[in-house]
């Protein structure tokens, strides 16, 4: 069964929204800890981050949000953020406190595989990654490998990136760890197409947009993605 | 796994999405190849001479502070009116060698944007410059120049609407278009190998100044002083004297953008350096009357020089900068840009007598700002 990961920005309603996403069929929740200068993010997640920062969501509040979410759902929870927050908090302290609050792992968008190798985290690879780096990332990753589907920032696209298939093939040659694809996946059709290639998919920007409408719309949206994944032709 | 050029003590490195690593590796390889090819250095020197106007003069200023001999390294007389062209020319040659057809850049005051648009016109590249909407307002003449030179200037409307956001947008563009596009960064910041590339291209400032001062006085300066935004003119000046222990190196930041003076270690735009950030690691707004210094980060090598004690960094206020701007105009007949006016302001406080200042740019772009106050 394909895994469905949903990304939500940390905020007051996030525990409730995470619960709705899980009810809709999400297997994993990524929790965005906002940063003032998010290099890897397009307008939707950037705006969501600005809003969260304006509402006072700093590392401490985000860890509290993580705890509150952990109290509501059983699925893996993974904070996703940028290196600057870990610099300020302390890498080891951040990892420890996140784990204590219920995090399963971490994703840091501006740490390529050979920077800060001591921090255990889910590694990201991209269509531009060399085979050597794919192998290294797969060796170091915590649980699953995050395949960024396109060369670009987060944000919905019209079609599933054509670069994904090639990246999947190279990754399969390099490793047996589960492969999840993310960036630019927003519709059930794109989800199904991606799911036919990989072990799981991540939906970010579109989930953040729908989450702004409330838990019920989010549950329905996630349910539509779940439905598409369940009808994906097994490879 | 860190290559020698990637760090300055605990600063520097590559803090970027994995997607960019191949582009950085390609750039690093291209840079090493260029350094090993005498034709690269020859071409840069020739362009600097015949297109840029190098060598720039070293002008003695005897009325600015009576009793002190102040030597001004006249990067304001370089084509386009600031030191930025040294870096833009070199990176344009590099981009051509890498087979790129498109250039993307960020700009604060507009001088780097103008330098970039200038070289793109000369080399026939497509040129996209990201500029904060607030900076476009306060540096309108440079926006017009970029347009005339054929650049596509894209306003950045979010956040502080200044250099910080323009830099993020330029990097996002590069992430998306790295195959066809070279990111022509404007200062000694960013992921490795950019800080090194920019320093080496600006080192001509320090090399020439050293020769010229020795020829004029028979001595090295007691102090070499420059303004610091991202830090490129300063690192270029300092490069001529780093190994001369008797030469004091002083960098002057805008008091409201003192990344080295009041900042903390953090990660911004791809490198670990000293930045204006809160306890949480969120990057703070910088404030300066001069757009070119209005950046909450700084080159990682400057953070290292500060920590190792080789260089000192002080702050100058908007008011001090404006006063120095007017003073140089009235005592020496040179109108400096507001950015180097910060360095000039601190010259007044130095005890030394033989002082070398990098006059990193001319002040035409700042007339409205200065006269409006």
3-state secondary structure of B277: strand
pLDDT at residue B373 tops 70? no
Whether residue B281 and residue A35 make contact (CB cut-off 8 A), yes or no, is yes
B321 CB burial (10 A radius; 0-12, 13-18, 19+): buried
pLDDT at residue B137 tops 70? yes
For residue A234, the model assigns a pLDDT of 67
**pLDDT of chain A along its 235 residues, tens only?**
899 999 999 999 999 999 999 999 999 999 999 999 999 998 999 999 999 999 999 999 999 999 999 999 999 999 999 999 999 999 999 999 999 999 999 999 999 999 999 999 999 999 989 999 999 999 999 999 999 988 778 887 778 878 899 999 999 999 999 999 999 899 999 999 999 999 999 999 999 999 999 999 999 999 999 999 999 876 6
Domain assignment present for A150: yes
C-alpha torsion angle, residues A167, A168, A171, A173 (rounded to 10): -110
Q: What is the pLDDT of residues B1-42, one digit of tens each?
A: 334 446 899 999 999 999 999 999 999 999 999 999 999 999
Nearest CA of chain B to the CA of A196: how many Å? 23
Determine the angle formed by the axes of helices A163-174 and A131-140, rounding to 10 degrees: 60
Nearest CA among A136, A219, A204, A135 for reference residue A173: A135
Kindly state the DSSP code that residue B48 receives in the 8-state scheme.
I
Whether residue A87 and residue B272 make contact (CB cut-off 8 A), yes or no, is yes
pTM of the predicted protein model: 0.95
How far apart are the C-alpha atoms of A33 and A48, rounded to whole Å? Answer: 10
Domain assignment present for A235: no
Both B207 and B133 in one domain: the answer is no
Q: Find the residue in A nearest to B175 (Cα).
A: A152
B14 chain-A contacts, CB cut-off 8 A? 112, 115
Domain assignment present for A39: yes
pLDDT at residue B230 tops 60? yes
For residue B1, the model assigns a pLDDT of 31
Kindly state the DSSP code that residue B49 receives in the 8-state scheme.
I
- Answer for the pair A30, A202: CB distance below 8 angstroms, yes or no: yes
* Cα atoms in the 13 Å half-sphere on the side-chain side of B152: 8
Both B119 and B236 in one domain: the answer is no
Nearest CA of chain B to the CA of A157: how many Å? 13
Nearest CA of chain A to the CA of B281: how many Å? 5
Task: Provide mean pLDDT across the span B326-333.
Answer: 98
Catalytic entry in A41, A142, A159, A223? A41
Radius of gyration of chain A (CA): 16
Per the structure, the complete domain to which residue A133 belongs is given by 3-230
How far apart are the C-alpha atoms of B261 and B313, rounded to whole Å? Answer: 6
Q: Give kind and range of the element (H or E) at residue A159.
A: none
Whether residue B178 and residue A83 make contact (CB cut-off 8 A), yes or no, is no
If one counts the domains in chain B, the total is 2
Task: Provide mean pLDDT across the span B154-182.
Answer: 93
Q: Is B354 on the interface with A (CB under 8 A)?
A: no
pLDDT at residue B149 tops 90? yes
Both B293 and B340 in one domain: the answer is yes
Domain assignment present for A85: yes
- Answer for the pair A149, A125: CB distance below 8 angstroms, yes or no: no
Q: Give kind and range of the element (H or E) at residue A121.
A: none
Task: Provide mean pLDDT across the span B138-156.
Answer: 94
Identify any residues that bridge with B265 across adjacent strands, giving them in sequence order: B274
- For residues B100-121, one letter each, b for 16 or more C-beta atoms within 10 angstroms of the residue's C-beta and e for the rest, the string is bebbbbbbbbbbbbbbbbbbbe
Domain assignment present for B220: yes
Whether residue B281 and residue A130 make contact (CB cut-off 8 A), yes or no, is no
For residue A118, the model assigns a pLDDT of 92
Place of tokens 């005592």: B331
Edge-to-edge strand order for the sheet containing A107-108?
A107-108, A77-81, A28-32, A3-9, A200-203, A179-182, A145-148, A124-125
Both B176 and B236 in one domain: the answer is no
Both B314 and B171 in one domain: the answer is no
- Answer for the pair B283, A84: CB distance below 8 angstroms, yes or no: yes
How far apart are the C-alpha atoms of A131 and A84, rounded to whole Å? Answer: 28
A111 chain-B contacts, CB cut-off 8 A? 15
Looking at B154, B171, B194, the residue that finishes a domain is B194
Looking at B194, B215, B234, the residue that finishes a domain is B194
Both B366 and B285 in one domain: the answer is yes
Supply angle C-alpha A199, A201, A204, rounded to 5. 165
B50 CB burial (10 A radius; 0-12, 13-18, 19+): exposed
- Answer for the pair B212, B221: CB distance below 8 angstroms, yes or no: no
Both B235 and B368 in one domain: the answer is yes
Alpha helix ranges (H) inside chain A: 14-24, 43-54, 59-70, 83-89, 91-100, 131-140, 163-174, 188-195, 205-211, 215-230
Q: Which residues of A touch B (CB under 8 A)?
A: 35-40, 42, 46, 50, 53, 58-59, 82-89, 109-115, 117, 123-130, 133, 137, 148, 151-153
Give Cα B248 distance to the centre of its chain. Answer: 20
Per the structure, the complete domain to which residue B155 belongs is given by 17-45+84-194
Both B298 and B368 in one domain: the answer is yes
DSSP strands (E only) in chain B: 7-8, 11-12, 58-61, 69-74, 102-107, 126-132, 152-156, 181-183, 223-227, 248-254, 264-268, 271-275, 311-316, 354-359
For residue B370, the model assigns a pLDDT of 94
Q: Is B166 on the interface with A (CB under 8 A)?
A: no
Both B287 and B355 in one domain: the answer is yes
Pick B72 or A157 by higher pLDDT: B72
How far apart are the C-alpha atoms of A47 and A34, rounded to whole Å? Answer: 10
For residue A18, the model assigns a pLDDT of 98
A151 chain-B contacts, CB cut-off 8 A? 19, 175-176, 178-179
Give B109's pLDDT tier (boundaries 50, 70, 90): confident
Both B27 and B165 in one domain: the answer is yes
CATH number for the domain spanning A158: value is 3.20.20.70
Cβ neighbours, 10 Å, residue B341: 33
Kindly state the DSSP code that residue B82 receives in the 8-state scheme.
B
For residue B2, the model assigns a pLDDT of 37
Looking at B172, B194, B216, the residue that finishes a domain is B194
What is the ipTM for the molecules in this complex?
A: 0.94
Give B183's pLDDT tier (boundaries 50, 70, 90): very high
Q: Which token pair is B322?
A: 């404006």
If one counts the domains in chain A, the total is 1
Task: Provide mean pLDDT across the span B252-265.
Answer: 95
Nearest CA of chain B to the CA of A169: how many Å? 17
Q: Give kind and range of the element (H or E) at residue A184.
A: none
Domain assignment present for B12: no
Both B260 and B276 in one domain: the answer is yes
For residue B174, the model assigns a pLDDT of 95
Q: What is the mean pLDDT of chain B?
A: 95
Whether residue B16 and residue A110 make contact (CB cut-off 8 A), yes or no, is yes
Give the mutation candidate from B267, B275, B296 for the A interface (greatest A CB count, under 10 A): B267
Cβ neighbours for A187, distance < 8 A, ≥ 6 positions apart:
A206
Residues 268-297 in B contacting A (C-alpha not used; CB under 8 Å): 268-270, 272, 277-283
Domain assignment present for B96: yes
For residue B360, the model assigns a pLDDT of 98
Domain assignment present for B183: yes
A133 chain-B contacts, CB cut-off 8 A? 18, 21
B282 chain-A contacts, CB cut-off 8 A? 35-36, 53, 58, 84-85
Domain assignment present for B7: no
Catalytic residues of B: 84, 106, 360
CATH number for the domain spanning B218: value is 3.40.50.1100
Domain assignment present for A181: yes
Both B74 and B121 in one domain: the answer is no
């Amino acid at each position: 069964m394909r895994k469905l990961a949903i990304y939500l920005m940390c905020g007051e309603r996030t525990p409730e929204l995470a619960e709705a996403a899980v009810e809709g069929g999400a297997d994993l929740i990524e929790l965005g800890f906002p940063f003032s200068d998010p290099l890897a993010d397009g307008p939707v997640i950037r705006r969501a981050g600005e809003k969260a920062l304006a509402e006072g969501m700093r590392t401490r509040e985000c860890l509290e949000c993580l705890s509150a979410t952990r109290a509501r759902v059983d699925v893996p929870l993974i904070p996703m953020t940028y290196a600057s927050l870990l610099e300020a908090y302390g890498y080891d302290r951040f990892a420890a406190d996140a784990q204590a609050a219920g995090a399963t792992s971490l994703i840091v968008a501006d740490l390529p595989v050979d920077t800060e190798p001591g921090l255990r985290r889910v590694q990201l690879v991209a269509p531009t990654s060399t085979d050597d780096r794919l192998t290294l990332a797969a060796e170091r990753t915590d649980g699953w490998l995050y395949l960024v589907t396109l060369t670009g920032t987060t944000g919905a696209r019209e079609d599933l990136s054509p670069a994904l298939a090639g990246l999947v093939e190279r990754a399969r040659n390099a490793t047996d760890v589960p492969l999840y694809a993310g960036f630019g996946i927003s519709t059930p059709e794109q989800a199904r197409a991606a799911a036919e290639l990989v072990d799981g998919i991540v939906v970010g920007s579109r989930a953040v947009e729908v989450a702004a409408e409330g838990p019920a719309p989010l549950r329905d949206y996630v349910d539509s993605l779940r439905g598409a994944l369940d009808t994906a032709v097994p490879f | 796994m860190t290559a020698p050029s990637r760090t300055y003590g605990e600063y520097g490195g590559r803090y970027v999405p994995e997607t960019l690593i191949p582009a950085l590796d390609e750039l690093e390889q291209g840079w090493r190849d260029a350094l090993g090819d005498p034709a690269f250095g020859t071409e840069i020197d020739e362009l600097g001479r015949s297109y840029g106007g190098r060598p720039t003069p070293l002008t003695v200023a005897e009325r600015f502070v009576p009793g002190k001999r102040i030597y001004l390294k006249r990067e304001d007389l370089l084509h386009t009116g600031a030191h930025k062209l040294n870096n833009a020319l070199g990176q344009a040659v590099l981009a051509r060698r890498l087979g790129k057809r498109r250039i993307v850049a960020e700009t604060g005051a507009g001088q780097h944007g103008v330098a970039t648009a200038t070289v793109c016109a000369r080399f026939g590249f497509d040129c996209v410059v990201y500029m904060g909407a607030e900076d476009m307002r306060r540096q309108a003449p440079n926006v017009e120049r970029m347009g005339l030179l054929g650049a596509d200037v894209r306003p950045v409307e979010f956040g502080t609407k200044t250099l910080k956001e323009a830099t993020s947008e330029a990097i996002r563009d590069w992430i998306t278009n790295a195959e066809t596009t070279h990111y022509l960064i404007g200062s000694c910041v960013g992921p490795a190998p950019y800080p090194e590339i920019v320093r080496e291209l600006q080192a001509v400032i320090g090399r020439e100044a050293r020769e010229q001062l020795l020829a004029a006085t028979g001595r090295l300066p007691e102090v070499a002083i420059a303004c610091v935004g991202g830090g490129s003119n300063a690192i270029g000046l300092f490069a001529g004297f780093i190994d001369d222990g008797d030469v004091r190196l002083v960098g002057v930041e805008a008091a409201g953008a003192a990344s080295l003076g009041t900042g903390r270690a953090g990660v911004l735009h791809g490198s670990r350096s000293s930045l204006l950030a809160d306890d949480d690691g969120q990057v703070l707004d910088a404030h300066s009357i001069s757009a070119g210094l209005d950046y909450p980060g700084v080159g990682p090598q400057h953070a290292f020089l500060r920590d190792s004690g080789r260089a000192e960094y002080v702050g100058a206020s908007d008011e001090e900068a404006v006063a120095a701007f007017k003073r140089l105009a009235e005592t020496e007949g040179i109108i400096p840009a507001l950015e180097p006016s910060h360095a000039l302001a601190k010259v007044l406080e130095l005890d030394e007598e033989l002082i070398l200042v990098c006059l990193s740019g001319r002040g035409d772009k700042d007339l409205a700002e200065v006269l409006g106050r």
